[in-house]
Structure 1
Amino acid sequence: MRPRQLILILATAASLFAQAPSAQAPSAQAPSAQANVTLQRAMRKETLEGDLKGAIALYGKAVAEAKGDRATAAKALIRMAECHQKLGNAESRRVYERVVREYADQKEAAALAHTRLSDGGTFAQAKGDRALWTGPKVDLFGRVSQDGRFISFTDWSEGAAVAIHDLRTGMDRQLVKAGFGSSGYIGGAQFSTFSKDGKQIAYEWYDSKNQVQVRVVPVEGSGNSEPHVIFANPDVASINVSDWSPDRKWLAVHLRRKDRSSQIALIGADNGQLRVLKTVDWRGPSKLFFSPDGRQIVYDLPVSDASPHRSLFILDIDGSHETAVVENPSLNLIMGWAPDGQTVVFSSDRTGTMALYALGIANGKAQGQPRQVKAEGPEWSLGFSSTGALMVFKSIGNQDLRIAALDVTAGKISEIPSAAPTYIASRGRPDWSWDGRSVSYASCGNLGGANCRLLIRSTASGQIREVSHTLNYFVTARWSPDGSRFVMRGTDFKGRNGIFIVDAHTGVTTLVAEIDAAEPQWFPDGKSISYLTAGNSRVLRRDLTTGNERSLYESPDKLGSAVLSRDGRYLLATTRAISGKGSVALLVPVDGGQPRELLRVNPPDRIQGFGGANWMPDGSAALLIKGKAERKGNELWFIPINGGQPRKLNVDMSEWAGGTGFTLHPSGHQIAFVSGERQAEIWSLENFLPPVSAKW
């Protein structure tokens, strides 16, 4: 998979989980942001650590912090009651009663509490939730086989190969090779799905010329299995191969064209015939699922190009009739159509955080109202097995923002205080404001750019506030010199990709330029920015008032980074280690003159790309990350600008998150970075649907 396609996929995924902009004033956002941070910590303690008592305490703290945010408070109370229930504590009933009594305006939470009180809570217990697969290869772009034994996935460690994971034996098996072969780049896979008999897998493929195709490969084979192309079109940018019809004749796909139009379609599994059913918003559906009888498909779609909200629809496979079955001002994501044919399952944040719901369906129409069946909504679905087990993807890990004291003279980090309480800090590097009072960072729930919130942490107090924005996806928000704005690369809800400015107080988001750019940052005048152009070999300066641009530096090699000094006089440019070449750190005068080599790193070591290099605030030296073959062996180097030998600092980087970078306090005595690791799991949710007679 080429980087451009991966960015497109992440942007698509981000659109599914982006949060709606808040209408509150900035001063009113802080309690809600802090409460949500604590709520997420509590959920991790409950579900990942299994510490129910610790989770109860944190849920209580979230309620106290929520103040006017009643949706978050009600959600925290429901989770607290469930923890008490699992521990066998009578307190669970009192907490449910409190929700009914004090939060009647939170209809979903109050209705759930009523249900728990009336049935004694038995419905709330997770009777069959099991983690089936944990590890670095866990992937969200595949599907479960109908017998529930195999998961198809994209093996990124093997160049985006097509593979299957055996849930019974724990073994992986590659079906289609990818990445680079003896003759160069051969291609890579993305979305995949099983045929209902489990004998074939259909998948999205980017060939050696970066053209997208749909291919089919037999499951009973090896890395030498011969796939065959069933569909290819040069106007298509990506194809989400979502589901295979029960009669094995059709593939349900979401097809995005290069002109940014998007379509729901069927592709003939044997002959590649394309049948377009509906043209939709460029973001399209997250997934499509056939009904068990194969007569309809269910999917979610955005409600507008200015909101992350989604509704659920059912469409006849001949495209003749579409019915909205879930319309609610919230994010509703389809998880699947249950094997009984009478139930669709979806995740929704209608109560403030994602929960799992079931909705009765008859003749393509909704029956009654959705019923919450689990308090935690999955991030992504891999579909149902024939026995009714729902396979879902969950992000786990312990990534958090860290702030530490830095002593470059002694060459070490002298202390690492406790982590900032975040959801999961990720995507790009944090950024310290020019006055040193605040650190900004992206806090993401999953999928890299997905569900990312722009958070600001006070250096003095540690308090966190959230800046709402209207971006689908963004990478590394950079403070303006006066602290009033951020500049960042991102994609908005209209599908425009480029450079954006976000007001640090109001969240008002403005498109600067619709261009393929990277690493935008401010000149000290606050009136212009620099950025890397598409291809990552040229650095431009753009006047924000006139839109005029001029070239600052053009490299003969691909650049991994180009960081502007605080005084705006120099670029710290690093080249990428490609095709056996080493990587180099260069000092580039902005106003002309020859670049000067500061450090050369030979293979297999390399200078980390985006986020891996930064200036000491006084401009006298640079810090950069020297990447090793094993990431836990990475090194932090101090590079004097005007003489002196580069030297490795005695910094243990084993806990630093890969690829996220770092930022320095203006004093030069503190460093902020992201620690920990990102992992994922596949879970099986079983026996969670209510009996048919009691459903609706």
Structure 2
Amino acid sequence: MNRTLITIAAFAALLLGTAPAPAQKPDPAQAALKAAIDKELVDGDLKRAIDLYTKVANTHKSNKSVAAQALLRLGQCQEKLGQSQAASAYERLLSQYADQKEAATARARLAALRGSPASGSVQARLVWDNAMDDWGSASADGRYLSFVHWPTLGIAIRDLSTGTNHVIPDSTLFGRNRGEAGGNAISPDGKRVAFAYYRHNQPQDQRGYTELHVLNADGSGHKLLIPAAGIDYIEPQSWSPDGKWISAMINRKGDNHGYLALVPTGGGEPRYLPIPPKQGLEAAFFSPDGKWLAYSASPIRGAGRHLYLCSPNSATDSEVKLTNNAIAMGWAPNSAGIMFSRESSGKHDLYFQPVDAGKPSGEAKIIYTNTDIGTNSQGISTSGTLLYGIGNRRSEATLYPFTGDLAKLGPPTLTFPVTGSVSWLLGGGTMRFSPDGNRLLAISPSGRELIIRTLGDGIVRTIAPRLMRFTRVEWSPDGTAILLQGLDDARHQGIHRLDPSNADISFITPLPESTWNFVPSPDGRTIYYGGPNRVLARDITTGQDKEIWTGDGLGNFQLLITRNGQTLVIRTTRLLVAVHLATGQARTLYTNDGLEDGHTWASALTHDDTKVLAIHRDGSLNKMQFGVYPIDGSTPSRFPAPGEIRGLHVSPDGKLLATTVLTRRDQIWALENFLPTN
């Protein structure tokens, strides 16, 4: 048997704030702690959260687990606000609850507070609460921040010194319904912004963030730096200190790899750097002296992201791998080292990697462990301030009683934390009912474990599959196994079978690395798979493929199959199509030809296979809608959905609806006085 982590526990003991069963009342201590956490993470109100954590710690002293968590979070909030009382909270935790798991973190924070490696007091300062967006970068002086202005789908600049936003005129380029701005980077002087652009209603080979543009802050000086031809995706990363070059991540058509390129800001062909292609290339920062580029990427799909360094001026491969499990956050102002974020136990800490002449000049050192620094850096200013974005994202699996009417959902009977990863939420959601309806399969918050809950007795099992990665899951048709799309240690890319009773894994069939999603046929003999523009049927026995559908889809992709195996439903961002498998006839249930009509983010079949339920995000970009689409093509209906929901699945008897409720509050923080003294 594979050595795979399997734990069994009562659900209430496993997940904070979850009602084990509708008949039981929530524990008052846990309810109070959850309210405080919501105040901190969802509302972003640290001062009020401090009051609530203090009350929890004083009122529920006998609940050691809750009190320890409250004291730890209390200290962390106080540190964020620069309050000296943080040490007192950690000391109290160690004095009264030294046997709790939070004690180790409190001990580390006390040590850091009493002997900080930085000059002065390390302080995280909130500079923009409830930010509209955190997809952008900061000017060299840290005053200006570029971001996507979602109401107009253009680019805006925030002046962090005054708290005002300035929308760049004409940055929507061709009108709100014809395109949208994406990844962006502001120039060092804050006067220009480079941004990717996504044209709507274009031929398939021109869709996506495939163009790179630059504009002055006043809307003048527009230039198309890179046209869409031959580009599948592009995202600017940073500007060179002299403002003459932009580092950009580029995916070419027909190539699944990412390439690092330098784009001349005055116009001209991009210069691809002579380094090996990567997966998930991101966070490419120029050093302040302009001599080096630091960036993060995976050498192959499925591997962790590493920190690399190369020369932007070398004609040969100058790449040096600095360390594993690291996301670049920016350079020290004197170019003597790189800050990076590293994940450990679900939390990201900040590290400093000294470098000299393009090579490591010492061991990486941890320099900030207070709270989760995340991985979204806007850059480090010339004065040594790190600007970074925190989404305060919470993603909760939510189970509703269901009568078949989406407009009449009652209060949920069950909630618990699940992954908030966009790829899971938009790829079909995080939950699946077993074929017999007795179990619920979900993806853990880390995205690395499976959670299986028995609905009758509330028992939960967590399983960490022995795979390098997995990106999609489905129950086997008979409910005896779980099918995972992923990559194992032997580099088998495709569908794997996991036995929940002992966590053994076996490889079933290979699938291309470009596969977005899959679903098994009811008889278990066929795997339907593909992407937004093509769907195939794989005969598991013979390994032969048959083309089922080709079309002009886009983006988020999901496959559904009726219980009788006769109809395959294909969901993309802009299409819902029902294909009759015996005849190949395809019926379009929904199509989106304009942004205002909304993108489709989830779908599910009703228990009787007569309708497709869908979730749409409307053109205002801040409201969700339900859609109901009869399989026979009769009149559909749409109406408002409650909040930010992702993913849908209906139980086999049609009495339960599983979805995921997403809450977030974007914030921009400034970390100061964190640099090593030397």
Shift of 1:568: 1.7
Which residue of 558, 561, 569 corresponds with 2:566? 569
Equivalent position amino acid for 1:197 in 2: D
Q: What is the match of residue 90 of structure 2?
A: 92
In structure 2, the residue matched to 1:357 is: 351
Question: Are 1:673 and 2:659 an aligned pair?
Answer: yes
Identify unmatched segments of 5+ residues in structure 2. 18-29
Per-residue CA deviation, residues 127-170 of structure 1 (Å, 9 max, x unaligned), is: 342141524x4042x211223332222345545x3443343343
Tell me whether 1:688 sits opposite 2:674 in the alignment: yes
| Aligned-partner residue type, residue 634 of structure 1 | Q
- 1:303-353 Cα distance to aligned partner (Å, 9 max, x none): 66552142353647436795858435xx21110013243442211124652
Distance 1:639 1:301, change over 3 A: closer
Where does residue 14 of structure 1 map in the other structure?
none
> Of 377, 381, 401, which residue of structure 1 is paired with 2:377?
381
CA distance, structure 1, for counterparts of residue 619 and residue 483 of structure 2: 33
Q: 2:539 aligns with which of 533, 540, 543?
A: 543
**What is the alpha-carbon distance in structure 2 between the residues aligned to residue 242 and residue 600 of structure 1?**
34
Q: In structure 2, the residue corresponding to 1:634 is in which secondary structure?
A: strand
Report the RMSD for the aligned CA atoms in angstroms.
5.3
Cα distance in 2, alignment partners of residues 169 and 263 from structure 1: 36
Task: Report the identity percentage.
Answer: 21
The one-letter code of the counterpart of 1:217 is V
Residues 402, 100 of structure 1: alpha-carbon distance in 2 compared, 3 angstrom cutoff? closer
Give 1:40-59 correspondences, 5 Å limit.
46-47=40-41, 48=44, 50=46, 51-52=49-50
Give the counterpart letter for 2:194 in structure 1: A
CA–CA distance in structure 1, aligned partners of residues 289 and 74 of structure 2: 40
Unaligned runs of 5+ in 1: 1-22, 66-73, 446-450
What's the counterpart of residue 26 of structure 2? none
Answer yes or no: is the 8 Å Cα contact 1:204–1:215 preserved in 2. yes
Cα-to-partner distance string for 1:86-107 (whole Å, 9 max, x where unaligned): 655745136568999999x99x
1:134 counterpart (130, 136, 150): 130
Given that 1:560 and 1:573 are in contact with CA atoms closer than 8 Å, whether structure 2 keeps it comes out as: yes
Distance 1:114 1:403 in 2: 43
Asked if structure 2 preserves the Cα contact closer than 8 Å seen for 1:63 and 1:76, the reply is: no
Amino acid at match of 2:238: D
Shift in Å, 1:77: 9.4
Q: Return the match for 1:221 from 218, 221, 234.
A: 218
Taking structure 2 as the reference length, the TM-score comes to: 0.73
Question: For this pair of structures, how many residues does the alignment match?
Answer: 629
Distance 1:673 1:124 in 2: 47
Structure 1 counterpart of 2:520: 522
Residue matched to 2:141: 147
Given that 2:215 and 2:223 are in contact with CA atoms closer than 8 Å, whether structure 1 keeps it comes out as no
Deviation at 1:513, TM superposition (A): 2.2
Match of 1:165 among 158, 165, 170: 158
The match for 1:302 is 298
Q: TM-score, normalised by structure 1?
A: 0.72
Alpha carbons of 1:132 and 1:595: their partners in 2 closer, same or farther (altered >3 Å)?
closer
Residue 20 of structure 1 is matched in structure 2 by: none
Give the C-alpha shift of residue 533 in structure 1.
5.5
The structure 2 residue matched to 1:194, chosen from 172, 180, 186, is 186
Structure 1 residues 273 and 409, CA gap change in structure 2 (3 angstroms): closer
One-letter amino acid of the counterpart of residue 606, structure 2: W
Give the superposition deviation at 1:64.
Answer: 6.7
Matches within 5 A, 1:48-127: 48=44, 50=46, 51-52=49-50, 82=76, 90=88, 92-93=90-91, 95=93, 114-118=111-115, 127=123
Contact 2:438 2:454 (8 Å CA) reproduced: yes
1:677 Cα deviation from its structure 2 partner:
3.7
Tell me the distance in 2 between the aligned counterparts of 1:493 and 1:381: 32
Q: Secondary structure at the match of 2:415?
A: coil
8 A contact 2:74–2:86 mirrored in 1: no
Are residues 46 and 624 of structure 1, via their aligned partners in 2, closer, same or farther at CA, if it must alter by over 3 Å?
closer
The alignment status of 1:404 with 2:400, answered yes or no, reads: yes
Letter in 2 for 1:612: S
Question: Compared with structure 1, are the counterparts of its residues 143 and 99 closer, same or farther at alpha carbon in structure 2 (3 Å cutoff)?
Answer: farther
Alignment of 1:120-519 (within 5 A): 127-135=123-131, 137-140=132-135, 142-155=136-149, 158=152, 161-167=154-160, 168-178=162-172, 189-205=181-197, 210=206, 215=212, 217-222=214-219, 225-231=220-226, 234-258=229-253, 259-270=255-266, 272=268, 274-283=270-279, 285-302=281-298, 307-313=303-309, 315=311, 317-318=313-314, 326-328=322-324, 331-350=325-344, 353-364=347-358, 365-367=360-362, 369-375=364-370, 376-408=372-404, 412-424=408-420, 426-427=425-426, 428-429=428-429, 430-442=431-443, 454-460=450-456, 461=458, 463=460, 465-468=462-465, 470=467, 474=471, 477-487=473-483, 500-501=495-496, 503=498, 505-506=503-504, 512-514=510-512
| Structure 1 residue identity aligned to 2:523 | D
Match of 1:392, SS state, is: strand
SS in structure 2 of the partner of residue 147 of structure 1: coil
Q: 1:412 to 1:84 in 2, by over 3 A?
A: same
The answer to whether the 8 A contact 1:242-1:289 is kept is yes
